[in-house]
Structure 1
């Protein structure tokens, strides 16, 4: 994955995290609603969209894909400092780069965001986000949090 692609995936992952927080949805629900073609479009538009505010792009995506408000609130009840949507986006983009076969990055993005690891990372009352990225990657690959 080249630098431009890496930046595009980082942007789209951060955008998904931002939208999920704004709409109180599971990250997997956002990805399923947008769909593979929508993710591909967001990646294609990322270079231009990153010049705009996340709020504006988020509003446009929410409106276009008719993303409704959910009840998966990971922020208001958090007892600890919440990592930024950019920090979480970076984590996801690293996992995609490490786990995806060449040419199957979009499919890997969808698999990661719709797997158990996404809700686990979103539990900001746990210390999972702060774990070694290798631990998160191998937990995802194994299908459960490793002991």
Structure 2
């Protein structure tokens, strides 16, 4: 995928990672699912955000969260991904860790002719995300090839 502002500059895996990380941060802050954040921001704005990710990653993530919430009119919800059974889930993955899980899933399942933004929209709108984001099970902890295979097969 090429940067929309600098056509000679390619979007990197790290740019995708940053966007996935910020999606996770914003969703957690608002008590929403990642799908809500992705769909509310939309394709065109995601193309903009991934094209400026190499600059945004130098900013304070708290400020980037607030900017996204304000600019894309993201609303508070009632879904708390961190509300888990502590006997089943001793450790809750960080937004950085989940950003990496989603980045890998997007890259591992990227389809012919699809760019990173299309991959973001496709993956975050898949039902498998409900399993990955259930921290009472260990789906997020599986190796990336196992998660990608589960995605391709329609479940674990």
Q: Normalising to structure 1: TM-score of the pair?
A: 0.91
State the Cα RMSD in Å. Answer: 1.8
Stretches of structure 2 that go unaligned for 5 or more consecutive residues are 2-8
8 Å Cα contact 1:27/1:119 also seen in 2: no
Does 1 or 2 have the higher relative contact order (CA < 8 Å, sep 6+)?
Answer: 1
User: Are 2:143 and 1:136 equivalent residues in the alignment?
Assistant: no
In structure 1, the partner of 2:16 is: 9
* 1:132, distance to aligned residue in structure 2 (A): 2.0
For residues 52-83 of structure 1, give each alpha carbon's deviation from its aligned partner in whole angstroms, at most 9, with x where no partner exists.
Answer: 12111010001111110111101144522111
Which ranges of 4 or more aligned residues in structure 1 deviate by more than 6 Å? none
User: Are 2:40 and 1:33 equivalent residues in the alignment?
Assistant: yes
Hey, what's the Cα distance between the residues in 2 that align with 1:34 and 1:115? 17
Q: Which has the larger radius of gyration?
A: 2
Alignment of 1:1-147 (within 5 A): 5-79=12-86, 80-101=90-111, 103-104=113-114, 105-145=116-156
Stretches of structure 1 that go unaligned for 5 or more consecutive residues are none
For residues 13-59 of structure 1, give each alpha carbon's deviation from its aligned partner in whole angstroms, at most 9, with x where no partner exists.
Answer: 00001111000111111100000111111101101100012111010
Q: Which has the higher helix share?
A: 1
